[in-house]
Amino acid sequence: MIEQIPINDAKFVRTKDELCFQEVVDSFPDANRILVYSFNISLSVNRFLLEQLRKAGEHAEIIFVSNLPDRRKKYDKEKGQITQRRIDEYKNRLRPENFGEKANVFFDFNNHSKIIATNEVAYIGSANFSDASASNLESGIITRDSHFIQYLFESVQSTFTEETLPYYEILFPFAMQLMGDLRDKRELYCEFRDSCYSLSGHGYSNVWYYLNENVDLKRELLDTVYLHYVENEVLGSFVANLEDLELEQTSEFSAILNELNGFKNRINEILELSSIYDLFTFDLSSETNKIFYKEYSIEEEADKYLEKAQDEALEKVRELSESCRNYLDEMIVLIHDYNQKYKELINHSKGYKIVNRGIDNA
């Protein structure tokens, strides 16, 4: 693999007893995004750079990619405890929460590049993001080429390999699935509600009117509701991943799951006990023909009796619709409340995280 990107508006820098990328650090207070690739960080008492990153994390999105210098494929037993302590210290220094809510830390055991960038200026060179690098003879380039800087940020994910590990082995990827599922559920809620009710009025006088015989329900819609709220494979997969990671559920988390399960059971009960399936599959044209050929096909003036058959079919759907109205009202409320509780589940899931077990092999 080789990438060649032309750079404009760049200058060469070489330093001793100074940070080679000080110009980038100076831009941290005004940065929206910060990107750091480093082979290592300093474990010395001086933590100037990490402190600057922490301050920037109050307002900026941070992506930090580091190697783990003391990590080996095999370890000397006599030095194992020392190595373990150094790895633990290194991980503790790079805890994402040290740098704000929008910080993401990754370990890439093939990484040897050194890049420090904000959305305004970037450094590429020999210096690690380490206070100790100020003591070394370091060199590199600093650029304010906006197109190149945009490329740096956009190409981050493409540099990741199977050996690139996020700091936390968290439920975030699964929570993202829940978030996507919630978007679908919200759209489904609106579709279900609008199939049963029509909004009429202006401003504060808006009123929802039940559509009665005009209830526009399709079997496919009901099946989708069943898949999302009764079966809900996305939620099942989420809970299974909790168990696979051996993460103990908090009492609050368990309570949310129990409430969702209660909503699910009631929705399923309504579908089984009510005539909603009959309403969803009711076909006015078919029912009209059925009544006509059964009751009036031998009568003269077929058009008049066909209209009569249609009136009887309409009355039948009105009765069916009215018998389902309370159940439909309850389902609309249940689906709405389910979605609200689902959002709580997503927010709560952010607290489930463990340090990625693939990082430390000592």
Q: What is the pLDDT of residues 155-175, one digit of tens each?
A: 876 777 667 888 887 665 667
3-state secondary structure of 225: helix
Q: Is the pLDDT of residue 49 over 70?
A: yes
User: Can you tell me the distance from the alpha carbon of 55 to that of 68, in angstroms, rounded to the nearest whole number?
Assistant: 24
The chain-wide mean pLDDT, for the chain, equals 84
Each domain of the chain, given as residue ranges in start order, spans 10-167, 173-353
DSSP state of 126: S
Topology adopted by domain 10-167: Endonuclease; Chain A (3.30.870)
The mean pLDDT value for 13-29 works out to: 97
Percent of the chain with pLDDT over 90: 43
DSSP state of 118: E
pLDDT-derived band at 115, boundaries 50, 70, 90:
very high
| 3-state helix/strand/coil string of 136-179 | CCEEEEEECCHHHHHHHHHCHHHHCCCCEEECEEECHHHHHHHH
Q: How many CA atoms lie within 13 A of 33 on its CB side?
A: 13
User: Can you tell me the distance from the alpha carbon of 260 to that of 272, in angstroms, rounded to the nearest whole number?
Assistant: 18
What local confidence, expressed as pLDDT, does residue 202 receive?
A: 52
Cβ-contact 227, 185 below 8 angstroms: no
The mean pLDDT value for 132-154 works out to: 95
Q: Determine which of 20-24, 124-128, 217-221, 301-305 has the lowest per-residue pLDDT on average.
A: 301-305
User: Can you tell me the distance from the alpha carbon of 65 to that of 89, in angstroms, rounded to the nearest whole number?
Assistant: 17
pLDDT-derived band at 80, boundaries 50, 70, 90:
low
Own/partner contacts of 50-55, CB < 8 Å, gap of 24 or more, are 50/93, 50/98, 52/25, 52/28, 53/28, 53/99, 54/98, 54/99, 54/100, 55/28, 55/29
Segment of 269-278, 304-313, 345-354 carrying the highest mean pLDDT: 269-278
User: Can you tell me the distance from the alpha carbon of 92 to that of 235, in angstroms, rounded to the nearest whole number?
Assistant: 32
User: Can you tell me the distance from the alpha carbon of 220 to that of 102, in angstroms, rounded to the nearest whole number?
Assistant: 40
As beta bridge partners, residue 100 has: none
What local confidence, expressed as pLDDT, does residue 232 receive?
A: 93
User: Can you tell me the distance from the alpha carbon of 249 to that of 236, in angstroms, rounded to the nearest whole number?
Assistant: 14
Segment of 68-72, 114-118, 235-239, 301-305 carrying the highest mean pLDDT: 114-118
User: Can you tell me the distance from the alpha carbon of 142 to that of 18, in angstroms, rounded to the nearest whole number?
Assistant: 15
What local confidence, expressed as pLDDT, does residue 297 receive?
A: 61
